[in-house]
Structure 1
Amino acid sequence: MFATATNNFVQEVDHGGLLIPVSSLNDTIALLTVVVKRRRFWMWQKPRYTPTDFNFNDILTGDTPIKPVVTETDFIKYNGTFGDNIQGNIEAKFSSSNVSLEGKDSSKLQSSFGSLKKEEVDVQNLLQVSKDRILDMSHGLVQQTKEKSRRVFGIVKERILTTQPCSVIEEVQQGGQCGAALSLCGPKILKRVSLKENGSLSKDSNVTMEIPIHTTLAYALLELEIKHDGRYELCLMSDTTGRFEVDGPSKRGLLGIVGAPDSEKSHLAQELEQLRDHFQLLSALSTRSSLLQQITEVMADRGAVSLLQDVLEQMCFEKKPAVSDVTATESQKHNIQAILDLFEQSGQVAFKPVLSAFHLITSAMDEMTNDILSLLGTCCSLTVLPALELLVQCVSGTGELSLSSAGFAALTEDVYEETERLFASSNVSLKRDGNTVTADIRHTPGNLPLVLCIAVRGLASLARCD
């Protein structure tokens, strides 16, 4: 809930900018805090940020700490209310069973952060006071981070924090139907999180947490480009990223993060072509129908999607996490284990390309908004998915198709309206003129068109008939 509130805040005040929302009240983030940035498995996935317990001075050699000039200014007064009303139906027919799910989700999140202030390091002064300083390459944090790929250091150069008691209030009403039986998935819940000096946090009046004054809501980083001898440079431009230089004279390459390629819409066809082998692997699986059934069930739970892709990502790096140790509900653990069991039964659990291909789908879903994921679920059936795949070809190809073509029979008027909403939510406009549909991609920041096309192509591969 706190993570949702801070994410909404950043989307409103710095969309596409440098601010990173704080995801946990347990994170203590001050200026010059060292944060580990981890690039994900696929270049279009958002990085993950892990604040550490260390300050920049802790990993520098020498006994004299640097003390850069810090400016403090009023930021904005922020109060926001966000609401969602989502209603979806998932009907999928498989050879062994049918899945029928209906759900309603009404939520309202009110964030009353009040007057906020910004603390910011004077970067020019930081460059001056840290001139000729060297990182302690023997420090445990440096050693452990360097040994892991895709990870780099950043230091907090700016943070947005509260200046007064404030609150986040969330109302959620959920209901659902599974099969022919109507069941209430959750009662109306009123949850309140209060952020105040010497105050407490409560959810449903049964959880209390002391909240420190000056809670950080968001922060920005300066990444570090680190040489093998401890010398470093601050990445001052927004389009430059940190990295570790390989230790040793014979290796001149750099480990870690490199700049992600441009994923604007003009490159959509190229990106999908590069992933073609992954889709072919999925379409050749003997258990694809059962996997589609299981992933359809997982799609009804956003949290389960994130957990599943995390587990698959670890397995792609030759780790086999125990699902029983994953922090999740019993239902989520059951659904994740059911998918892993299907890979085990097919003999593919140790075949990394197949795991990578399935992880491709789940990671694309995890990058979607809740609305897009819900809409995709309403279109997830053996008959509709092939039609969606044709529309993806339209988006990434000529941009025009005839609805009278074979494969579009499943797009009834109601289904087409849902499909149109699905693509529109992903910044793709479908326009119909008689039997002809054209697709236009709106040039906005982000990778929503790409992740939608990847998810549709992957699910359609699982829906492929022999």
Structure 2
Amino acid sequence: MSHGLVLQTKEKSRRVFGIVKERILTTQPCSVIEEVQQGGQCGAALSLCGPRILKRVSLKENGSLSKDSNVTMEIPIHTTLAYALLELEIKHDGRYELCLMSDTTGRFEVDGPSKRRLLGAVGAPDSEKSRLAQELEQLRDHFQLLSALSTRSSLLQQLTEVMADRGAVSSLQDVLEQMCFGQKPAVSDATATESQKQNIRAILDLLEQSGQAASKPVLSAFHLVTSAMDEMTNDSLSLLGTCCSLTVLPALELLVQCVSGTGEVSLSGAGFAALTEDVYEETERLFASSNVSLERDGNTVKADIRHAPGNLPLVLCIAVRGLASLARCD
């Protein structure tokens, strides 16, 4: 935190740090040509100059001037044309949080008794588990909104199909982000296959059928879950897709509660009936891919967050809690 770049950035209130998560690059050299036509009056000497600009100028006897100009800009290969940025909320000790929700922006933690606390920083937790528990507690209202949707089971089915393709998840997340900011979703412009676009349209239709398509809290909650899915590693997303069923998701949610709670749970409970040997092995791999270890001793499972886990445990827990909310039975 004492690095010169960090200190300089903290002095500028509107500057934040972020992570570039995707870019659009040119794959071959290309050019952009701008054609400009101008007209005016002049009554004295005329002088025109300009590097690398092709111009045609005519001066009539009455002093009127008309000018056409073509401005050409050459764009080399591998030039970044656009990028997606994920802003960071940075604490005093150098730890940071990803701004996964559309209504959060990057910033530095502020000194003083009246400082604005970062998401989940209340109480300055001493362990990763307590920090994770506080993060999830602050997001509880989002999960409750999802569990109350009338079309939640159909939404879960469509999300499961979207999860099979990383690009489809990113496209869905982009469309929902547009809606969260009050923009009309441009599904046809999304960088996705036609099949992926059909899945995205189906999800938007289901949100509309539930009567919540225009509800910002519901959109923010749904966007939170897709953002978490988009931040998962490829292995984690693939493994989560294999465990994404109405019977398995409630068991995964209980394990998430174990991770952020006591750290130990018995598999003999009714909620874990769906965790057969094969499913448990997939579940163990899923949590391991997000820096959470599950150690089984008979019917008892102990959950531990690994050293320096980053945000992967939080991302996994948000995704599981959100999907389990959609799998909730009446």
Q: TM-score range by the shorter chain?
A: 0.5 to 0.7
For residues 197 and 183 of structure 2, the distance between their equivalents in structure 1, rounded to whole angstroms, comes to 17
Post-superposition offset of 1:418: 0.4
RMSD: 17.4
Post-superposition offset of 1:320: 1.7
Q: 1:11-410 maps to which residues of 2 (within 5 A)?
A: 264-410=128-274
Post-superposition offset of 1:413: 0.4
Do 1:367 and 1:451's aligned partners in 2 also have CA atoms closer than 8 Å?
yes
Post-superposition offset of 1:387: 0.5
Post-superposition offset of 1:337: 0.7
Aligned in 2, Cα 1:278/1:211: closer, same or farther, shift over 3 Å?
same
Any runs of at least 4 consecutive aligned residues in structure 1 with deviations exceeding 6 A, and if so which?
137-151, 153-211, 213-263
For residues 234 and 44 of structure 2, the distance between their equivalents in structure 1, rounded to whole angstroms, comes to 25
Aligned in 2, Cα 1:324/1:398: closer, same or farther, shift over 3 Å?
same
Aligned in 2, Cα 1:440/1:180: closer, same or farther, shift over 3 Å?
farther
Post-superposition offset of 1:309: 0.8
For residues 391 and 275 of structure 1, the distance between their equivalents in structure 2, rounded to whole angstroms, comes to 17
Relative to the length of structure 1, the TM-score reads: 0.47
For residues 445 and 359 of structure 1, the distance between their equivalents in structure 2, rounded to whole angstroms, comes to 24
Secondary structure at 2:63 match in 1: coil
Post-superposition offset of 1:266: 3.5
Aligned in 2, Cα 1:152/1:370: closer, same or farther, shift over 3 Å?
same
Post-superposition offset of 1:318: 1.2
Aligned in 2, Cα 1:420/1:173: closer, same or farther, shift over 3 Å?
farther
Secondary structure at 2:83 match in 1: strand
Aligned in 2, Cα 1:410/1:208: closer, same or farther, shift over 3 Å?
farther
Tell me whether 268-277 or 316-325 shows the greater mean CA deviation.
Answer: 316-325
Relative to the length of structure 2, the TM-score reads: 0.65
Do 2:58 and 2:67's aligned partners in 1 also have CA atoms closer than 8 Å?
no
Aligned in 2, Cα 1:416/1:444: closer, same or farther, shift over 3 Å?
same
Post-superposition offset of 1:349: 0.7
For residues 464 and 178 of structure 1, the distance between their equivalents in structure 2, rounded to whole angstroms, comes to 76
For residues 216 and 273 of structure 1, the distance between their equivalents in structure 2, rounded to whole angstroms, comes to 39
* Deviation digits for residues 18-72 of structure 1 (CA, Å, limit 9, x no counterpart): xxxxxxxxxxxxxxxxxxxxxxxxxxxxxxxxxxxxxxxxxxxxxxxxxxxxxxx
Do 2:132 and 2:314's aligned partners in 1 also have CA atoms closer than 8 Å?
yes
For residues 182 and 424 of structure 1, the distance between their equivalents in structure 2, rounded to whole angstroms, comes to 73
For residues 144 and 41 of structure 2, the distance between their equivalents in structure 1, rounded to whole angstroms, comes to 34
Aligned in 2, Cα 1:407/1:206: closer, same or farther, shift over 3 Å?
farther
For residues 166 and 213 of structure 1, the distance between their equivalents in structure 2, rounded to whole angstroms, comes to 8
Task: Point out the structure with the larger strand share.
Answer: 1
| Corresponding position of 1:441 | 305
Post-superposition offset of 1:160: 19
Secondary structure at 1:255 match in 2: coil
Do 1:201 and 1:211's aligned partners in 2 also have CA atoms closer than 8 Å?
no
Task: Point out the structure with the larger helix share.
Answer: 2
For residues 167 and 42 of structure 2, the distance between their equivalents in structure 1, rounded to whole angstroms, comes to 19
Do 1:152 and 1:224's aligned partners in 2 also have CA atoms closer than 8 Å?
yes
Aligned in 2, Cα 1:423/1:331: closer, same or farther, shift over 3 Å?
same
* Deviation digits for residues 88-109 of structure 1 (CA, Å, limit 9, x no counterpart): xxxxxxxxxxxxxxxxxxxxxx
Tell me whether 197-206 or 312-321 shows the greater mean CA deviation.
Answer: 197-206
For residues 152 and 41 of structure 2, the distance between their equivalents in structure 1, rounded to whole angstroms, comes to 26
Do 1:177 and 1:183's aligned partners in 2 also have CA atoms closer than 8 Å?
no
Do 1:227 and 1:245's aligned partners in 2 also have CA atoms closer than 8 Å?
yes
Secondary structure at 1:204 match in 2: strand
Do 1:173 and 1:188's aligned partners in 2 also have CA atoms closer than 8 Å?
no
For residues 146 and 216 of structure 1, the distance between their equivalents in structure 2, rounded to whole angstroms, comes to 27
Do 2:173 and 2:226's aligned partners in 1 also have CA atoms closer than 8 Å?
yes
For residues 165 and 350 of structure 1, the distance between their equivalents in structure 2, rounded to whole angstroms, comes to 42
For residues 200 and 419 of structure 1, the distance between their equivalents in structure 2, rounded to whole angstroms, comes to 78
Q: Which structure carries more relative contact order (alpha carbon 8 Å, separation 6+)?
A: 2
* Deviation digits for residues 275-324 of structure 1 (CA, Å, limit 9, x no counterpart): 00011011111000100000000000100101111111121111122211
For residues 302 and 268 of structure 2, the distance between their equivalents in structure 1, rounded to whole angstroms, comes to 14
For residues 171 and 379 of structure 1, the distance between their equivalents in structure 2, rounded to whole angstroms, comes to 56
* Deviation digits for residues 129-172 of structure 1 (CA, Å, limit 9, x no counterpart): xxxxxxxx999999999999987599999999999999999999
Secondary structure at 1:312 match in 2: helix
For residues 385 and 207 of structure 1, the distance between their equivalents in structure 2, rounded to whole angstroms, comes to 58
Post-superposition offset of 1:336: 0.7
**Runs of 5+ consecutive residues of structure 2 not aligned to the other structure:** none
Post-superposition offset of 1:328: 2.0
Aligned in 2, Cα 1:421/1:217: closer, same or farther, shift over 3 Å?
farther
Do 1:389 and 1:460's aligned partners in 2 also have CA atoms closer than 8 Å?
yes
User: Identity, % of aligned pairs?
Assistant: 93
Do 1:292 and 1:459's aligned partners in 2 also have CA atoms closer than 8 Å?
yes
